[in-house]
């Protein structure tokens, strides 16, 4: 449909990329230089062609956007240009840029570019500036209200807009933060260079020169909750936002699959006229089962208050925890079965349990339908804490690789 928004998924490695086929309309990813997630696993430059070939061969095809959105220094300009030329030669659909040098290089080489949220585009004059520069898309500042977004969209002539709909929120303006670099006294750990240490997620005590302590009393008062707009898909679509972006290039494949799947279902339900409160409840439960700091709606409807800060707990507050079980020893494609070494069993493993298998090239959810131990079918198995690892055989429908790790989700 003409006004159907593009769903853009975060990718850091092959296992994440493979699972979004049929779910995402586009992906964004980085290589090992010049992107805002330097700590992510990231792809090698030599993989650019492989990434686009995989994306463009899917049915329907997936667009691939390369992140080149950090601040750039003079010593990096030639290498950055080589990367952008490699991206163009590899049929990357667009780069995501922040630094004006990156934009100039992209224009010089006729490479399509999107303006990163790092540029903090918050008004129509800034948006028109980038439109006149030739930006195909602008990823708007996260600090805009839905009303402001609608106005910018209405006043642009041809450039499309993209907005974040789910994921981590930075306390600073669109991530343009100097906190990490300041406390380490090192440009190496600059958020604007993609290597933030996230000091805002820590406990802080704020004292004045008379030793008066700030009212938050050591709580995590900079620890913003995560954005979640799954309940407001109709409002976002009616605002004519062209692309819905999911944050999460540091997250594991389970997170990526769960979140992208929920938003894919929500978008499809809206256009199928089956978007209901009951479905929203199910999606929220699924989203709460993976990594999150609690949810809020960002700046879309009002400026965040203290209610949008997770004061008490750092990191994941999900009720579920991923427990390590063991690893794949071998896999037989013909019998669809794997020999497995169970190294940790805090809970009994049973037929009917859902396990997660991950590796450099693997991600799959599998419901255990058949277990064999010492040649006999079994319905459950328990390994005592101090006993040796146990070898069993499991039926697994999707191909897995030796040393892929096996996990199970349990309530904490």
d(CA 287, CA 202): 24
* Among 87-96, 151-160, 212-221, the least confident range: 212-221
Residue 386 has pLDDT above 60, yes or no: no
What is the residue whose two structure tokens read 């601040």?
71
- Phi and psi at residue 367, to the nearest 5°: -90, 125
The pLDDT of residue 384 is 67
What is the residue whose two structure tokens read 């010492």?
374
Residue 145 has pLDDT above 70, yes or no: yes
d(CA 290, CA 67): 25
- pTM for this entry: 0.88
Give mean pLDDT, residues 255-259: 96
CA dist 335 → 150, 196, 250, 393, 398 (Å)? 55, 46, 35, 11, 11
- Condensed to tens digits (0 to 9), the pLDDT of residues 345-369 reads 777 899 999 999 999 889 998 999 9
Q: Report the mean per-residue pLDDT for the chain.
A: 90
Percentage of the chain beyond pLDDT 90 is: 70
Confidence of residue 242 (pLDDT cuts 50, 70, 90): very high
- Condensed to tens digits (0 to 9), the pLDDT of residues 390-401 reads 899 999 999 999
Q: How many residues are given for the chain?
A: 412
- Condensed to tens digits (0 to 9), the pLDDT of residues 182-223 reads 777 777 766 666 676 777 777 777 777 877 776 555 577 777
In this predicted model, which residue has the larger pLDDT, 30 or 35? Answer: 30
The pLDDT of residue 215 is 57
In this predicted model, which residue has the larger pLDDT, 388 or 298? Answer: 298
The pLDDT of residue 102 is 97
Give mean pLDDT, residues 153-175: 89
Confidence of residue 241 (pLDDT cuts 50, 70, 90): very high
Give mean pLDDT, residues 49-53: 97
The pLDDT of residue 174 is 64
CA-closest candidate to residue 160, choices 236, 242, 246, 103? 242
In this predicted model, which residue has the larger pLDDT, 389 or 134? Answer: 134
Q: Which domains does the chain possess?
A: 6-308 (3.20.20.70), 322-411 (2.40.30.10)
Q: Residue 323: exposed, middle, or buried by beta-carbon count in 10 A (0-12, 13-18, 19+)? A: middle
């Amino acid at each position: 449909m003409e006004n159907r928004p593009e769903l853009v998924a975060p990718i850091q490695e092959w296992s994440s990329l493979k699972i979004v086929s049929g779910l995402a309309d586009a992906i964004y990813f980085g290589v090992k230089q010049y992107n805002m997630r330097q700590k992510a696993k990231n792809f090698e430059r030599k993989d650019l062609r492989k990434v686009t070939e995989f994306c463009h061969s899917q049915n329907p095809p997936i667009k691939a956007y390369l992140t080149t959105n950090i601040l750039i220094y003079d010593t990096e300009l030639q290498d950055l240009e080589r990367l952008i030329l490699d991206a163009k030669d590899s049929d990357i659909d667009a780069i995501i840029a922040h630094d004006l040098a990156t934009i100039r290089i992209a224009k010089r080489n006729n490479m399509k570019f999107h303006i990163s949220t790092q540029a903090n585009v918050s008004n129509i004059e800034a948006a028109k500036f980038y439109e006149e520069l030739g930006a195909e898309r602008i990823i708007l500042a996260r600090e805009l209200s839905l009303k402001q977004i609608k106005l910018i969209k209405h006043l642009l002539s041809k450039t499309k807009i993209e907005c974040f709909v789910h994921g981590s929120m930075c306390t600073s303006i669109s991530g343009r933060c100097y906190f990490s670099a300041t406390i380490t006294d090192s440009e190496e750990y600059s958020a604007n260079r993609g290597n933030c240490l996230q000091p805002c997620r820590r406990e802080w005590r704020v004292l004045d020169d008379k030793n008066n302590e700030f009212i938050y009393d050591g709580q995590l008062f900079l620890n913003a909750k995560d954005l979640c707009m799954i309940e407001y898909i109709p409002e976002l679509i009616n605002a004519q936002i062209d692309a819905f972006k999911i944050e999460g290039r540091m997250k594991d494949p389970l997170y990526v699959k769960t979140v992208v799947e929920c938003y894919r279902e929500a978008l499809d339900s809206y256009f199928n006229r089956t978007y209901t409160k009951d479905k929203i409840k199910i999606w929220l439960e699924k989203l709460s089962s993976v990594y999150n700091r609690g949810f809020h709606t960002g700046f879309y409807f009002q400026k965040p208050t203290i209610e949008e800060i997770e004061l008490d707990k750092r990191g994941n507050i999900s009720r579920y925890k991923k427990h390590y079980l063991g690893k794949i020893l071998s896999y037989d494609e013909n019998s669809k079965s794997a020999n497995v070494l169970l190294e940790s069993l805090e809970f009994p493993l049973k037929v009917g349990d859902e396990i997660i298998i991950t590796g450099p090239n693997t991600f799959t959810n599998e419901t255990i339908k058949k277990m064999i131990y010492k040649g006999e079918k079994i319905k459950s198995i328990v390994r005592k804490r101090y006993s040796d690892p146990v070898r069993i055989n499991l039926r697994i429908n999707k191909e897995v690789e030796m040393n892929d790790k096996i996990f199970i989700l349990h309530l904490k």
